[in-house]
Structure 1
Amino acid sequence: MGRVEGKVAFITGAARGQGRSHALRLAQEGADIIAIDVAEDIPSVTRFYPGATEADLAETVAQVEALDRRIVASKVDVRDYDALKGALDTGVAELGHVDIVSANAGIFLHSDKTHEVSDSDWDDVLDINLKGVWHTVKAAIPHLIAQGTGGSIVLTSSTAGIKGTPNVAPYTASKHGVVGLMKTLALELAEHNIRVNSIHPTGVATDMILNETTFKLFLPDEEHPTREQAAPVFQSTNALPVPWVEPIDISNALLFLASDEARYVTGLELKVDAGYTTK
């Protein structure tokens, strides 16, 4: 028996990166998957890194199916509540229930001082990283309550949800907001045996940070900084001697919180940060 055998997990931002890793790790341990992703470029983001694609989402589907698990995948923007709810309802109708919610979808914009951030950038980050998380749980909670079997909701925050981070005010504000939402939901849903926690990664080796514009945050004097140049600077921000962690490291934390091993864990800010927030 896998650690989440027979459960169904609803994962946002599942086309690549952490979201795909979460889907595969939970599938390896016996879960079926309801996966969504915007699977297209977001204009404010593409000046930093390209968006996921429909081909990326199809690859997630193929990899989950290769593990002999079922998956229902949809191209959905978390900002569109009706479409999000529709995709989840369709997945629940096909797979029978939902037990695990991973509100993972998010974007990362940077490089401006707080007073220089445009309204459109602020709105995109808050609408996806915070309102999108709220939409995700808003759609899932009625299913979890009606089933009467409890459940686990895991919200992806960040080390930026614990401490201030210069030049990324919208992201930092959104990730702090996720923590407030998590703590409120943990209290509201405890009577239904629904646990709510947040995960706080340091930098994760995905397209979101492994790009030239993010490297320039740490190496502003380099015209075209490389991954090799950036790694030592990233490492200097962590206590452990690593520049960043891998998606599987976050997925393993999610698996624990989703499993019955964490049956009495709720309201927790689980840091997978290589000691970043202790420095």
Structure 2
Amino acid sequence: MTDLKNRVAVITGGESGIGLAISRTLSALGVKLVIGGILEEEGKRVAEELNAGSPTVFVKTDVRSESQVESLVKEAVSRFGKLDIMINNAGVYDGSASLMDTKEGLWNQIIDINLKGCYFGCRAALRQMIEQGTGGRIINTSSVGGLRGAADGASYTAAKFGVVGLTRQIACDYSELGVTVNAICPGAIETDVRKNSGAILGEHAVNMNRGVGSDPDAYKRTIPARRRGKPQEVADVAVFLASDAASYITGQAIAIDGGWTAT
């Protein structure tokens, strides 16, 4: 069902958290992988780890730059001859900042990384997939915060709702070419997103220790599963969407949230 051996994938933000779990799972299935990310030390370490099993390279990439995202896709094609799977996963958290606590600098960074970076990745991947004429898989990382309010902050919610809308529109425009486009929407997952977001946002960072995922009592009250999810549980859904078994699934926003959106 998930025979992906010798497929070629690009993943942004594939060096940490959910992205790292996806990278490891794809590599274990024999996928040739190009990881683009801003955390250079972590990225190089992950590429070295995974390259022992399946060809993997890391390219330092800031998804706020269209030219860097385009170069990332070109690197994959140059090294491996094609692009089968694009996973736009790079993202940062806004510390659940309310609108009045969201200064313009924070807003711009969250939108640029979480939404515009996804737009750049989709465009670069579509261009290559259309040229190849063999279809492909695009998977965008949204969030429970892209499906409902009261999950995250103002800028993060706006960006992640935007990712879902962008995903659905691209699916409507390009699915007849054999390119499926779907969004995964993780809930409270055990990652270092708060620490990494603070480092990436720099002077624009706010208090990251807020929100459902930071308070055990809050997520036990809010999430029917009464626990946080594991990155692998998200990775398994992403990898399924990248496989031939998901060829008739497109334009969907799939929650991996322990039942949060069912409440």
Fold match (TM-score > 0.5): yes
Indicate if the aligned counterparts of 1:203 and 1:209 stay in contact, CA closer than 8 A: no
Tell me the amino acid that sits aligned with residue 46 of structure 2. Answer: T
TM score, norm. by length of structure 2: 0.91
Partner secondary structure for residue 124 of structure 1: helix
Aligned partner of 2:84 among 94, 99, 110:
99
Aligned partner of 1:57 among 30, 43, 60:
43
Aligned in 2, Cα 1:2/1:257: closer, same or farther, shift over 3 Å? closer
| Deviation readout 1:28-52 (Å, 9 max, x if unpaired) | 112110110012xxxxxxxxxxxxx
What does residue range 183-222 of structure 1 map to in structure 2 within 5 Å?
183-209=168-194, 213-217=207-211
Tell me the amino acid that sits aligned with residue 250 of structure 1. Answer: V
TM score, norm. by length of structure 1: 0.86
Tell me the residue number matched to 1:32. 32
Runs of 4+ in 1 over 3 A off after TM superposition: 209-219
Deviation at 1:166, TM superposition (A): 6.2
Indicate if the aligned counterparts of 2:144 and 2:185 stay in contact, CA closer than 8 A: yes
Partner secondary structure for residue 165 of structure 1: coil
Deviation at 1:140, TM superposition (A): 1.1
Tell me the amino acid that sits aligned with residue 122 of structure 2. Answer: V
Tell me the residue number matched to 2:113. 128
What does residue range 107-122 of structure 1 map to in structure 2 within 5 Å?
107-122=92-107
RMSD over aligned Cα, in angstroms? 2.0
Question: Aligned partners of 1:94, 1:241: CA distance in 2, in Å?
Answer: 44
In our comparison, the structure showing a higher alpha carbon Rg is: 1
Tell me the residue number matched to 1:266. 250
Q: Does 1:138 align with 2:123?
A: yes
| Deviation readout 1:220-277 (Å, 9 max, x if unpaired) | xxxxxxx7xx3232222111121x1111111100011000111111111111110011
Q: Name stretches of at least 5 consecutive residues in structure 2 with no aligned partner.
A: 199-206
Tell me the residue number matched to 2:137. 152
Question: Aligned partners of 1:160, 1:111: CA distance in 2, in Å?
Answer: 10
Indicate if the aligned counterparts of 1:7 and 1:32 stay in contact, CA closer than 8 A: yes
Aligned in 2, Cα 1:201/1:246: closer, same or farther, shift over 3 Å? same
Tell me the amino acid that sits aligned with residue 38 of structure 1. Answer: I
Aligned in 2, Cα 1:217/1:160: closer, same or farther, shift over 3 Å? closer
Tell me the amino acid that sits aligned with residue 5 of structure 1. Answer: K
Tell me the amino acid that sits aligned with residue 48 of structure 2. Answer: A
Tell me the residue number matched to 2:201. none
Tell me the amino acid that sits aligned with residue 17 of structure 1. Answer: G
| Deviation readout 1:176-209 (Å, 9 max, x if unpaired) | 0001100001011112100000001111111115
Aligned in 2, Cα 1:261/1:111: closer, same or farther, shift over 3 Å? closer
Q: Does 1:18 align with 2:30?
A: no
Indicate if the aligned counterparts of 2:10 and 2:35 stay in contact, CA closer than 8 A: yes
Aligned in 2, Cα 1:74/1:57: closer, same or farther, shift over 3 Å? same
Worse-matched range after superposition: 244-253 or 110-119:
110-119
Indicate if the aligned counterparts of 1:2 and 1:30 stay in contact, CA closer than 8 A: no
